[in-house]
Chain A
């Protein structure tokens, strides 16, 4: 009974945070797969200083994408290059690249994991990355490595922490 009560109170602050930041362009789109993958929603959503996001679910399935801030800076995406399914990628390694007319930008892996699925829709429609970077524009779905806890991985930030870095950048 006490345990049940405790779980309830623990979850509340997380929900509040997401709710308070819902208007932020860099928050996960709650109507799309990276959020809706499991019925209880992601266990944790984290951001990197290189403007990637990672949404982790209870079964250690994670979705990775780039933030709204990143896609605005990039301009119209014209090509997305992603790894092969089955590829093991360590934190900080290249996950692929995104091209606009003017530039090519490398995407870095936020935490150790193995690629289970890539967003094949981006091959024909790279512009989805600009239209919905925090939802339909997800890049890869992966299984996190054994023992990886994104809440403890160095260099990963909460939405609030991430957005503070953006304000500083400007």
Chain B
């Protein structure tokens, strides 16, 4: 049986960046692995992957996502800039609200998926992008800002802050007692999915809390100063319904919730329509006569959306019987086991569905309807799958 030698990780560790919580992870028995240039915990001692996953679905889990890029866009032309690089209408977005969107290259391909929150009128936006895309995103923002030389706005990376994802049905019960009641009506009950507000901890420290996450459960993403991060994490973990959770479970949780992983479901050759993310294209931006208001790749994307000219689309699937999981790169066939019609982008057993195999894939248009029965080929054998609407497991967002 092949097992990666631990010595390899030790060598990597000497050149990897560390989050503010790194030493805490190690003290909690975290197995540290290289991820997006950082040393990150994949699992914790005393918890198996399935136990971590199930704990998050039923209690509350703490994920360190400080490796993700936090940045700020500010200036009078911020909205105008965002209207060009994303398909979302930021004029319509209320202050304190965020939305998932995608950064688009000039061809309409997805540079990264992102959450963008309006902080002050139309002049200030908080942006979170994927750790693995940090270098490309930095290049992208700089290029796009120079490209529109008339735009009066600036983009800069936020330094010195950690990002903690507190996820699970009991997350709100853990977080609420740690917050100071600074103003009447400003409490977690009034922070809904997609919204982000500033709160104070009991000691007066300010944190920004966004409701949402990458698991499909109710939860929060908390931006906090690095100097306060360990103390705060320890306060959260002191609650018996809390456990630290690693990257392994994060991936199986997001897969069940039907969320994309950049590099798997998304890359610069894939449009939002192909990625089945039509909802990031605001309705108010689907009929822009004046080219001046077009977002990157507008003509191609709108042609795909209006005239269904895409050739492939992202789908979810479930196995119809036991077998080895179909992972990234596995081919999908018609029931004739000869005609190739798709490619798996992510796949694994689903702990929530009693370990039946699930996955996401790109399938040729025409074969992409839910309920369609196809075959995946794993190690020269074929296994039957059925395409399924995502999320593959019900979500539990706290919505307005």
Contact = CB atoms under 8 A, between A and B. Distances in A.
A106 B322 contact: no
Interface stretch (A3-11, A23-31, A94-102): A94-102
Contacts of A104: 324-325, 327
Interface string A106-127: 1110000000000000010000
Contacts of B349: 78-79, 99-101
Contact of A75 (B1, B48, B379): B48
A66 B327 CA distance: 23
B92 interface: no
A51 B1 contact: yes
B360 to A, nearest CB: 15
A108 B1 contact: yes
B146 interface: no
B49 A170 contact: no
Interface in B246-276: 248, 251-252
Interface in A58-82: 66, 70, 73-76, 78-79, 81
Contact of A78 (B251, B327, B355): B355
B95 interface: no
Contact of A101 (B53, B322, B323): B53
Given A78-B349, A78-B355, A101-B351, A73 B327 contact: no
Given A75-B43, A79-B349, A97-B379, A70 B50 contact: no
A50 B1 contact: yes
Contacts of A146: none
A136 interface: no
B296 to A, nearest CB: 35
How big is the B interface, by class? 20 to 34
Nearest to B42: A102
Contact of B3 (A70, A78, A81, A123): A70
Contacts of B324: 79, 81, 97, 99, 104
B325 A106 contact: no
A53 to B, nearest CB: 11
A51 to B, nearest CB: 5
A154 interface: no
B393 to A, nearest CB: 14
Interface string B31-50: 00000000000010000111
A51 B327 contact: no
B5 interface: yes
Interface in B1-40: 1-3, 5-7
Nearest to A66: B1
A130 B48 CA distance: 11
A105 B49 contact: no
A32 B3 CA distance: 26
B348 interface: yes
Contact of B49 (A98, A100, A107): A100
Interface in B300-353: 322-325, 327, 348-349, 351
A50 B325 contact: no
B2 A106 contact: yes
Nearest to B251: A102
Contacts of A130: 48
A98 B348 CA distance: 13
B344 to A, nearest CB: 13
Interface of B: 1-3, 5-7, 43, 48-51, 53, 248, 251-252, 322-325, 327, 348-349, 351, 355, 357, 379
23 contacts: A50-B1, A51-B3, A52-B1, A70-B1, A73-B3, A74-B3, A75-B43, A75-B49, A75-B50, A76-B48, A78-B325, A78-B349, A79-B324, A79-B349, A97-B324, A98-B1, A99-B324, A100-B49, A102-B248, A104-B327, A105-B3, A123-B322, A169-B7
Interface of A: 50-52, 66, 70, 73-76, 78-79, 81, 97-102, 104-108, 123, 130, 169-170
Give the 8 A-B CB pairs with smallest separation, nearest first: A78-B349, A76-B50, A78-B355, A105-B1, A73-B3, A75-B49, A76-B48, A101-B349
